Amino acid sequence: MATLDRINSLSPAEFSALFGKVYEHSGWIAERAFGRRPFASETELLLALWGAVQAASAREQLALLNAHPELAGREAQAGTLTDASKNEQRLAGLGALDDAQRAELGALNRRYLEQFGFPFIICARLNSREAIFGSLRARLTNAPEHEMQNALAQVGQIAQLRLLDILRDA
């Protein structure tokens, strides 16, 4: 367990190395959160990271969404997922799709991306495989401006679980 004292004494580079992966391919979030030290609790650290997302511009938020891989998609098949994403998708049973399921998910993912301009994002560790398919179909019926908020909320849940892992292991 990383102590708060230790976290509060990290250099900017060390802080980024430790927390830069909380948000997928988006190290700028940890960089901005660093300025909010010292953190009085783990919750304060979580809020500092989430606050950097909330205070970001709409363009930066869209870039954050687009930094996420397609679920059980290209990156998974090419072996280029981040370790965190690989583990999350495996836990949700997305590594064990049969060909028909993989094709269906691929088609739904493409439709979602075309419709909204960013990939379908869901916190895979908090949803069953069935819930992931069902939520994807459901969210396809949402308005684009609303769906961006739904996607960001899922990013927040993913980040929260990743942060807990990092704090436990560090």
Q: State the residues that interact with its own copies by CB under 8 A.
A: 41, 43-44, 46-47, 50-51, 54-55, 123, 125-128, 130-135, 137-139, 141-143, 146-147, 149-150, 153-154, 156-157
Give CA–CA dist 110/20, Å, rounded. Answer: 28
CB of 77 or CB of 128, closer to its own copies: 128
Question: Which two structure tokens, joined as six digits, stand for 36?
Answer: 């909010």
Q: Which of 21, 68, 139, 162 is catalytic?
A: 68
CB of 66 or CB of 150, closer to its own copies: 150
The distance of closest approach from Cβ of residue 57 to its own copies in the complex, given in angstroms and rounded to an integer, is 13
The distance of closest approach from Cβ of residue 66 to its own copies in the complex, given in angstroms and rounded to an integer, is 20
CB of 75 or CB of 166, closer to its own copies: 166
> From the CB of residue 152, how many other CB atoms can be counted at a distance below 10 Å?
19
CB of 11 or CB of 43, closer to its own copies: 43
Q: Is 68 considered catalytic here? A: yes
* Active site members: 68
